[in-house]
Every structure is written in C-alpha cells, then in structure tokens.
Amino acid sequence: MAHGPKTVLVLGGARSGKSVFAEGLAGRSRLEAVYLATGRPFDGEMETRIAAHRARRGDAWRTVEAPVDLAGALAANCAADRIVLVDCLTLWVTNLMLADMPMEPAFSAFTELMPKLAGPAIFVSNEVGLGIVPDNAMARAFRDHAGQLNQMVAAAADEVHFIAAGLPLKLKG
C-alpha cells in the first residue's frame, strides 16, 4: 500500500472479516502501523472483543485511543512512513451520539481531512443498512448516521472494499 491508494474504506457486516482484511492491507504496506481505536470497553463483552483485537494485531502495532476526536487523532498520527488503521467508524458514530454531538460537522471535518492526510489510512466501518428497519428512534438515527458517514467516506476514499463471509469485493479503485 506504500505505493497504492492513499485512503481505503473497508465495509462489511458484523463478523464479516473486515478488520482482518484491513489489518492484512496495513501489514502488506510494510510501514509502521498505528491503530486508531474508537471502541470503548463499556462492558465485559466489549473488553473481551478489544483484547482479542489487540492480541491478533500483536506488538508490532501502536494503539491510540480516539473515541471522539477522530479527525484530530488521524491528523496527528498520519505520516508518509506510517499507515493508520481506524477501527471502526460506526463505533465513532455511537460515541458521538452518546456525547450528544452534532453529526454533520464531525462527518464533514473528517471527510474533508481525508485527501489532506500526510500518509496512507484505512477505515473500517459496519454496513448497517442491509437488515430490517430498527424498531426505535435511536437505532434508526444510528443507522441513518452510519449510512450517511459511509457514503461520505466512500466518496472521499481512493479505494473501497465490501467484505462478506471473509471474502472481499472491490467496489472502487
């Protein structure tokens, strides 16, 4: 990826293999790898998921917690000799919603930053719009915000992959 696309979006459903695929892309770049983590360990199940992700990546990765100020962390950590992996954008949406922050300004600042990054970046996000319509307003708002962000990031990204059952389908680039 050092000579490939500057920004890559990796979409997929829960447990589709998107994080493993994104980590593989980063590893093949042979650049220093930085993991921008948006997940927060709110409960034991999430603590277990985070620990499994860390163990799979190993010690070669530097992890930076970026639950809300994702654009700032991205700008601070991107460099020509480093690849940044953001996992994941949908957890970032959750964090923004829990902080009662306006979505549009955060999304715009983030996607406007993408072409200006000093180095390559990979963004992982859940595709949440393929299932049934959620039965409550908060879940519908989350689905709508995540869909809006995915569209904005896909438009700004150099390359987009959709992962299903561990298999990648290249959508752009």
Selected catalytic residue, list 3, 53, 145, 161: 53
CATH superfamily entry for domain 7-172: P-loop containing nucleotide triphosphate hydrolases (3.40.50.300)
- pLDDT of 1 reads 55
- Active-site residue flag, 3: no
Instruction: Give the residue among 109, 117, 115, 43 at the shortest CA–CA distance from 80.
Output: 117
Question: Which residue spans within the chain are E strands per DSSP?
Answer: 7-12, 32-37, 61-65, 82-87, 121-126, 159-164, 167-172
Q: Where are the domains of the chain?
A: 7-172
* Cβ neighbours for 76, distance < 8 A, ≥ 6 positions apart: none
Instruction: Give the residue among 166, 171, 152 at the shortest CA–CA distance from 5.
Output: 171
Instruction: Give the residue among 10, 12, 40 at the shortest CA–CA distance from 24.
Output: 10
Quick one: 77 exposed, middle or buried, by C-beta within 10 A (0-12, 13-18, 19+)? buried
pLDDT band at 131 (very low <50, low <70, confident <90, very high): confident
The model's pLDDT over 2-54, given as tens digits with 9 standing for 90+, comes to 556 799 999 999 989 999 999 999 999 999 999 999 988 778 887 787 778 77
- The answer, as to whether pTM is greater than 0.85, is yes
DSSP-derived pairing of the beta strands 159-164 and 167-172: antiparallel
Tell me the two tokens of residue 71. Answer: 């654009």
